[in-house]
Amino acid sequence: MSTRNCEVISKMKKGVIVFASFAFLIAHSPALEAASKNIAIHVRVAPAISLAVPTTYYDFGDMAVSSTAVAISSLAVVNDSSGRTQDYRINVSTYSTGPSSQVNWLLGSLPAPDFFQLCWQVTLDGAVRPPADTSGNCTTNGWIIFDTDAGTSQPASAPGGLADGVISNAIRNLWFQIRTPTSTSYDEYQTMSITVTAAAANSF
């Protein structure tokens, strides 16, 4: 046996030993454990917020100065969304359809020269006309005064929350009471613009 051959045999033996050790380690390593669960993610496009006001015009007619009138009929507000529950807000602005030289009435907390007072309330029964406010400042018989800042949007949270949490297809009836100015420098028609805004329930 030559030295070269011995060297080769020796290397082969070392290779066998290393291989055997490696095989032993693999055989005795802990098995890899795993578990899995599925997660379902759901999404949909929610139905749009929507409302309808079938009648968008009411005329108080001719009134004297310093007089009070409750609308003869209400304006229906319908939640015509496809399944959304909604809250309403309401605000009023004033303008005149006449020439710019004509005087516009302004919204006030009490009637005054060229200042009028406007109140509102929401009911479930549009056939029952509410009685007029007896306090002079819209704090009786369910009336709520419009904020004197005509640009301010107010929660339409009538007694009982009738304008909050309105379900789909439900109808709310909006009533108005007006007190005319104590005097006016403009005796033609004045127009008050009412805006009702719907939003998802609990938004306001």
Mean pLDDT by 10 residues, the chain (204 residues): 31 41 49 87 90 92 96 96 91 66 80 92 93 94 77 47 88 95 86 88 80
Q: 68 has which bridge partners?
A: 179
pLDDT value of residue 38? 94
* pLDDT given for residue 92 in this prediction: 80
Q: Which is nearest to 164 in space by CA: 95, 99, 86, 107?
A: 86
- Can you give the residue ranges of every domain in the chain? 1-32, 68-200
Report d(CA 135, CA 132) in Å as an integer: 9
The token pair at 174 is 């909006």
Q: Which amino acid appears at position 136 of this protein? A: G
Of 196, 167, 203, 173, the C-alpha closest to 82 is 167
- Report the pLDDT value the prediction gives residue 102, as an integer from 0 to 100: 66
